[in-house]
Amino acid sequence: MISVLLVDDDALTLELHRTYVERVDGFRVVAECTGARAAVSAILERPPAEGIDLVLLDMTMPDGTGLDVLRHVRARAADVDVIAVTGVRDADVVRQMVGLGVAQYLVKPFSFAVFRDRLEQYRAYRERAREATGPATQSEIDAMLGALRPTASVALPKGLSPDTLDRVTGAVRGSGPLSAAEAASALGMSRVAARRYLEHLADTGQVVRSPRYGTPGRPETEYGWHP
């Protein structure tokens, strides 16, 4: 059983993630924190016997960032693994977190399927690390690290390509609310195709639809990012 510590400043998010974790076999939540300082103490002071294996760490908290937490923990040689779970997508933050050894970096919001995949992947890494208790060969080490390699995520509906979805997602994130036509011209694709992807994102809850009135003619629906 893998013991998990949840860290997030929002109680609602905490609860959601708890239910997520409990739906995955072999993982259990042993503690929760809403602040950076509390997280550091929880990780460092917990007796090793009932130690924490994995921390799901948010970035933004009132009394410090996830980066601060991780720096303290790493300095103390605490032997925990960390999955960053945050809405912060700044490339520099990602780089620093990777430098501090996060096993995965999950961008909120995400579906349960994505969450479960990441946890399963972490479990695979963990199993490999455990079974090779003695000296390992280079290729065993590679296999271990390779297990942490993010895999292509959930299967898309027919007619959608991962690459295009990625581009559309980026456009909506970058430019604020967009209509299908605007997204299409920004990406150099057709309005119909752009709309398909935006609809998919809306269906999976990653963007919100809202009608845009005022101009003559049928109202245009615009798609805005939903953090």
Partner DNA sequence: CGGGTTGTGGTCGTATTGGTCTCAACCTGA
Partner DNA sequence: TCAGGTTGAGACCAATACGACCACAACCCG
- For its own copies, the binding residues in 32-71 under the rule CB under 8 A are 67, 71
Evaluate whether 202 touches 223 at the Cβ level (below 8 Å). Answer: yes
Q: Is 183 in the site for DNA (CB under 7 A)?
A: no
Helix (H) or strand (E) holding 84: strand 81-86
Q: Is 96 in the site for DNA (CB under 7 A)?
A: no
φ, ψ of residue 90 in degrees (nearest 5) = -65, 130
φ, ψ of residue 213 in degrees (nearest 5) = -95, -175
Selected from 169, 179, 185, 204, the binder of DNA by CB under 7 A is 179
Distance CA 37, CA 33 (A): 9
β-bridge mates for residue 32, sequence order:
6
Q: Report what 48 binds from its own copies, DNA, none; CB cut-off 5-8 Å by kind.
A: none
In the complex, minimum distance from the CB of residue 158 to DNA, in angstroms, rounded to a whole number: 5
Q: Report what 158 binds from its own copies, DNA, none; CB cut-off 5-8 Å by kind.
A: DNA
Sign of the alpha-carbon dihedral angle for 24, 70, 80, 148: positive
Name which of 22 and 150 has its Cβ closer to its own copies. 150
Q: Which residues in 111-140 contact its own copies (CB under 8 A)?
A: 129-130, 132-140
In the complex, minimum distance from the CB of residue 67 to DNA, in angstroms, rounded to a whole number: 36
